[in-house]
Amino acid sequence: MGSVPVEQLISAGQQPSGSLAARHIVGRDEILGRLEDFVAPTTGHGRPVILIADAGLGKSRLLQHAAARARANGLWVLQGRAIDGDAAEGLRSLREALGRVDLEAGCQPGDRLWVAWQSALRALDASSGSPTALAEELIRFLRAASRRTSLVLVLDDLQWADPDELAVLGYLIDNREAHGTRLLLSARADAMPPALARLVDRRVATTWPLPPLPPAAVRTLVGDVLGVDAVDHDLMAFVVDRAGGSPFAVEELLSGLIRSGVLVADGTTWRVDGPRLQTVAPPTVAASLHRRLAALSPNARAVVHAAAVLGHEFDWELIGPVTSLDAPRVATALREAADAGVIVESDGALRFRHALTRDEVVRTMLTPERRSLARAALEVVRSASDGSDAHHDLMLTLAEDADDLATWHSVLLRSGVAAANGGDLGAAVRRLDVLVSRTPAHAVDAATVAAAAAVLSEVHGRRGDRSAADDAARRALASSPDAATTRRVREAMVRAAIASGDLDAAEVELQPLVDAPSDARNPHTAVLEALIRLGRGDLPGAVDRARDVADDAAAPDRIRCEAFDILGRASRTYDIAEGTRWFERALDTATNAHDPHASAGALHELGTIDLLDNLRVDRLEAARAQALTIGDPHTIAHADFHLAEAYAARSESLLARRAADRAIDVAARIGSPVLAWAWLTTARTYAHDRDDPAMDEAIARARAAAGPAPEPLAIEAGVAGRVNALRALFGTDRVQALAHLDTAATLLADLPGHHFPHWGLWALLRAVHAPLTDADRARVRGSAGAGTRANRALLATADAVDAGRRGERDRAQRDFAAAELDMRGYDSIDWLIHLTRWIVSPDARRDGWGEPVAWAQEGVRWFSEHHQEPLATSCRQTLRQLGAPVPRRGRGSSQVPAPLHEMGVTSREVDVLVLIALRLSNSDIANRLVLSPRTVERHVSSLLSKTGTSGRRDLALLAERHGLA
């Protein structure tokens, strides 16, 4: 789903205080495309366009965007807006449009255009005169201006235009050939003035209806307004259900949640604070509703009040029992409320026009009124409850409004347990935490607190938040629960300790459970044992315990999913295909069980397969989005870390650091061992960028964040092999790179089962230094991660070097070509291909295989474009030694603006960006720059990734903002 930025259209000063606004226009791809064509430089004036929409659907923002695009295309824009109210001056939109004309570059006082402009302004100011005469004056001005450039007249909110204004517009439309100005108009569908409706009926203008946004677009818009990738499941459902597809309603609902203190900024994310979502309407909405309510009859107001207590979308058949009114009176009152625009009917159901309307009705009631209605409604709903989430939510709201704490606590516990069982961990925490931590001890039954604390400890254990899990567990154990509850709480403590990387503590906590007589073949204990063994690198032991659970059809689906994940994690280290099969089985099981938490975990693990095998990030992004939705920080931190690893492996440093920063933020909050590894990935990105001070600082932070043994040893191996070795290579020091990799290999000897991504690089550098021994090959092939694409391809490259050294040139060429083809199975891996060629080039020259001249020439271009000047210089030196032509520095002809340079955009990418802004296709750009379409496609993909834009339209706007178009 595409979008275009709107931040340049609405300044902060125009936004109401404390409100949120969308950053982009979302879900309007078709209409945006039409508007783009309408204001294109080469488009003729054509038929006038009238954008028709209900209030709040975004027509004004679309007109603002069209006006901005027209100006960017070099058109003159005359822009005005009619306003509501008796005090509005006549011809208001036309006055504003002509009063804003900027003729600085087009004319001087006294010339023909200036005279025509002044004459039109005088005609507008005249207190009397026919609309036809005024229209003729406007036509003279528009005709004079159109000789200089194309014009667009943009008039908004014409439902409020006065009759004379509409008469003038009708004349301009009928005589558009006389002035050649494009007319772009808008009006509300529910308040179309008769004069404008007649123009539509005559078909002298094209109408573009603007429908409500579909739910998928609303979900995208919520993330855009909040500036996040995904949001809490309950929050999303609340907004989608109440917004009615209106962008304005989305913005106001979220703003209202913030005003009411329910939606709270939490670092780079948003947190729902408390179990109940409620909003505060803005003053304009409240004032309009108060006027409508005051005009209703007493019965209609009573019915509206009862309906509001029952929710945004309500069951009208419950209103009679709640209000003691008979069915005919209820029906009459509902008809009156509908005529007043307070409620509407949609697909056979009645609801308030907007959720904000309903919330404001509730807010206007006195406490005794609201409490009395809520108590009556609670009894009615209790007798009709079907146990669904919707009824839980309604009963929770009614119990709170009725001040029925016993019912409120009971329903809150049930809904929290239901959320936990359904995998919605964030909702479970919000609901249960109210009972455990936020309600005074004297106000809630001790048994309810203990039950809530027991479930809450499990939820926090699954979320990987050890501190919170331990706190809840202590509350639960303090009440001396039964044996089954005690066991569940202690299992939660074990799980949280494992998630934090404290395997010793996890083992101590687990041992009493293992020794218990009732533990025979307990799948929960078996999975925990398997996780501990996996963490210690005991892969056979982990597989043994997990397989027992995987084969146990009676085990809970969630526990079996964990067993499948463990088997996949153990298998992928040596056999990616087998690991994939286990993860797919976990995902299928989780999907069939409707468990979003297990699904997010399985998606994440499948994303790690992509990280190892192709560097695609779609499944990691999907896992992260789902984890964000259900409130699972453990999976969020791991997904962000692996996204950082993927982007770092693609040499996309900025994106890698963004993902690593997110992982660091979440990991620090929950005490996850991901913290140290995310800092290490950050260091790796600075190694790619040859930023030594930043690299050293990130290394220091990684060391400081390392948890219990053996993590410090693993971090040191990573510093040597993942960071320092690469830094040496980007500094053209093969010998030092091998020394760092030798250090890593020595440390890894004490870390069985630890995945290391650079065994193949170690083998290649050893082969360049001296013939690779059989022991070296055996060590690489027997190491964790040997089967990954990079390690496999680089070991094959090492074999090519050895074959060349033995004089087997054909075999060297075949092995090298096969290795490079294998490596190209990764997305965006050009940096490693060019680096590998640079590593083997001296051996290839010496032994007479490969294409060292072509490699060096391509290396000069690629390394120069990507700011790897030491390697580019080395390639130039090689070419000079061989007497071969040296390419000019860089292939692009464009200067890179500083902000784009900071994003890593190259000169050649700026060449492409400039042509995108000219609306050229990839094939046209390829012809212009003498490139292949595939190369252009890669440049476009790289631009989208580096700049964080979502399409060619966004790139064109970016080019304009930086003065490139």
For 552-569, the pLDDT digits (tens) are: 999 999 999 999 999 999
Whether residue 483 has pLDDT greater than 90:
no
Helix (H) or strand (E) holding 173: helix 163-174
Question: Residue 891: what pLDDT?
Answer: 53
Question: Residue 613: what pLDDT?
Answer: 92
Q: What is the DSSP string of 654-665?
A: HHHHHHHHHHHH
From CA 339, how far away is CA 555, in angstroms rounded? 57
Non-local (6+) Cβ contacts of 402 within 8 A are: 371, 374, 375, 377, 378
Domain end point (choices 287, 316, 332): 287
C-beta of residue 674 within 8 angstroms of C-beta of residue 641: yes
Q: What is the DSSP string of 729-773?
A: HHTT-HHHHHHHHHHHHHHHTTSTT---TTHHHHHHHHHHHSPPP
From CA 454, how far away is CA 413, in angstroms rounded? 11
Residue 822 lies in a domain: yes
Lowest mean pLDDT among 44-48, 765-769, 861-865: 44-48
From CA 499, how far away is CA 461, in angstroms rounded? 8
Q: How many domains does the chain have?
A: 5
**In terms of domains, do 240 and 299 share one?**
no
Angle between helices 327-339 and 298-310 (to 10 degrees): 90
Helix (H) or strand (E) holding 911: helix 907-917
Question: Residue 314's beta-bridge partner residues?
Answer: 350
From CA 493, how far away is CA 465, in angstroms rounded? 10
**In terms of domains, do 765 and 906 share one?**
no
What's this model's pTM, rounded to 2 decimal places? Answer: 0.74
- CA 228 vs CA 220, 224, 629, 662, 798: distances in Å: 10, 7, 11, 11, 44
The dihedral built from the CA positions of residue 247, 251, 254 and 257, taken in this order, carries a sign that is: negative
Residue 79 lies in a domain: yes
The dihedral built from the CA positions of residue 942, 945, 948 and 950, taken in this order, carries a sign that is: positive
The closest alpha carbon to 889, from 905, 906, 901, belongs to 906
Residue 305 lies in a domain: yes
**In terms of domains, do 242 and 135 share one?**
no
- CA 873 vs CA 881, 883, 908: distances in Å: 12, 15, 19
Domain end point (choices 403, 427, 453): 403
Structure tokens that stand for 244 in this block: 């009615």
**Amino acid of residue 528:** L
**In terms of domains, do 725 and 833 share one?**
yes
In a 3-state reduction of DSSP, which class is residue 353?
A: coil
Whether residue 70 has pLDDT greater than 50:
yes
Residue 475 lies in a domain: no
C-beta of residue 805 within 8 angstroms of C-beta of residue 772: no
What integer best gives the mean pLDDT of the chain?
87
Angle at 337 between CA 334 and CA 342, to 5 degrees: 125
Residue 350 lies in a domain: yes
**In terms of domains, do 268 and 308 share one?**
no
The closest alpha carbon to 962, from 905, 900, 918, 904, belongs to 900
- Helix then strand then coil, in percent of the chain rounded to 5, is 65, 5, 25
For 683-733, the pLDDT digits (tens) are: 999 999 999 999 999 999 999 999 888 899 999 999 999 999 999 999 999
pLDDT (average), residues 932-958: 84
Residue 605 lies in a domain: no
Structure tokens that stand for 915 in this block: 């042509």
- CA 804 vs CA 468, 797, 801, 811, 850: distances in Å: 60, 11, 5, 8, 10
C-beta of residue 695 within 8 angstroms of C-beta of residue 687: yes
584-593's contacts with Cβ under 8 Å and 24+ in sequence apart are 586/561, 589/557, 589/560, 589/561, 589/564, 590/557, 590/558, 590/561, 592/557, 593/557, 593/558, 593/561
749: domain range? 708-882
Burial-class residue 582 by CB neighbours within 10 Å (0-12, 13-18, 19+).
buried
**In terms of domains, do 32 and 175 share one?**
yes
For 89-103, the pLDDT digits (tens) are: 778 889 888 886 655
For 749-761, the pLDDT digits (tens) are: 998 888 899 999 9
Residue 789 binned pLDDT confidence (cut-offs 50, 70, 90): very high
**In terms of domains, do 314 and 325 share one?**
yes
From CA 410, how far away is CA 89, in angstroms rounded? 60
Residue 633 lies in a domain: no
For 148-203, the pLDDT digits (tens) are: 888 899 999 999 888 889 999 999 998 888 888 999 999 988 778 888 888 888 88
C-beta of residue 307 within 8 angstroms of C-beta of residue 316: yes
For 195-238, the pLDDT digits (tens) are: 888 888 888 888 999 999 998 899 889 988 988 877 777 788 88
**Amino acid of residue 720:** A
**In terms of domains, do 274 and 294 share one?**
no
Helix (H) or strand (E) holding 959: helix 952-961
C-beta of residue 913 within 8 angstroms of C-beta of residue 959: yes
**In terms of domains, do 811 and 921 share one?**
no
Residue 45 binned pLDDT confidence (cut-offs 50, 70, 90): low
C-beta of residue 208 within 8 angstroms of C-beta of residue 52: yes
Residue 73 binned pLDDT confidence (cut-offs 50, 70, 90): confident
pLDDT (average), residues 354-378: 88
C-beta of residue 147 within 8 angstroms of C-beta of residue 114: no
In a 3-state reduction of DSSP, which class is residue 303?
A: helix
Domain end point (choices 882, 915, 941): 882
**In terms of domains, do 351 and 382 share one?**
yes
**In terms of domains, do 314 and 244 share one?**
no
C-beta of residue 356 within 8 angstroms of C-beta of residue 279: yes
From CA 314, how far away is CA 612, in angstroms rounded? 51
Count the Cβ atoms, other than its own, within 10 Å of residue 307.
31
CATH at 112 = 3.40.50.300
In a 3-state reduction of DSSP, which class is residue 468?
A: helix
The closest alpha carbon to 186, from 214, 167, 206, belongs to 206
Q: Where are the beta strands (DSSP E) in 473-606?
A: none
From CA 235, how far away is CA 430, in angstroms rounded? 12
Cα 65 to chain centroid distance, Å, stands at 23
From CA 117, how far away is CA 377, in angstroms rounded? 65
Lowest mean pLDDT among 102-106, 287-291, 306-310, 375-379: 102-106
The closest alpha carbon to 425, from 457, 463, 393, belongs to 463
- CA 65 vs CA 6, 52, 213: distances in Å: 7, 16, 18
Percent of the chain beyond pLDDT 90? 50
**In terms of domains, do 293 and 267 share one?**
no
From CA 506, how far away is CA 581, in angstroms rounded? 29
Q: What is the DSSP string of 921-942?
A: -HHHHHHHHT--HHHHHHHHHH
Whether residue 7 has pLDDT greater than 50:
no
CATH at 352 = 1.10.10.10
Question: Residue 15: what pLDDT?
Answer: 39
Residue 234 lies in a domain: yes
Helix (H) or strand (E) holding 263: strand 263-266
